Structure 1
Amino acid sequence: SAVLGLEIVLADGTLLDCLTSLRKDNTGVDLKQAFIGSEGILGLITRVALACPTAMSGVGLGLFSCSSFEKILSTMRLAR
């Protein structure tokens, strides 16, 4: 998962600080996944620590549009 840590405000106003930069933490129960899947029922997520991988060099991205699926297939064959 790209989520490294969370800061959550509970219903009673308590601030729960689970922010960490550790990729793996075996110190106890992983509350992150419970709060991520709770849709705000367990508490409001106020801050998130994310792992953002660096872009690989030599990788490109292109966007194009075709009027039919057949034209997409022929264009992809030409691009190879």
Structure 2
Amino acid sequence: MASRDSIEEEFPLFYAVIISYLFHLDKRKKFEYIFRETDKQLFVELREVLHQNPKIHDKMFTYQISDILNVLEK
């Protein structure tokens, strides 16, 4: 999470897709139930980041690989 700001700035599409998927995965089944051995504080911090981006959660991203490649070519 230390590199979050630079990733968001340099790769906004990837960042949005990753945040959206993580948000929806956690919503489907809490990370604590899947990763039982992981420190729970990590999930608290992750959720803080996920909830800082409410516009991203309005929909699941369904980008095609061509959409992502087009962004990278710019």
TM-score (norm 1): 0.24
Is the radius of gyration larger for structure 1 or structure 2? Answer: 1
Q: Provide the TM-score with structure 2 as the length reference.
A: 0.26
Higher relative contact order (CA 8 A, sep 6+): 2
Structure having the larger proportion of residues in helix:
2
* Structure with the largest fraction of strand: 1
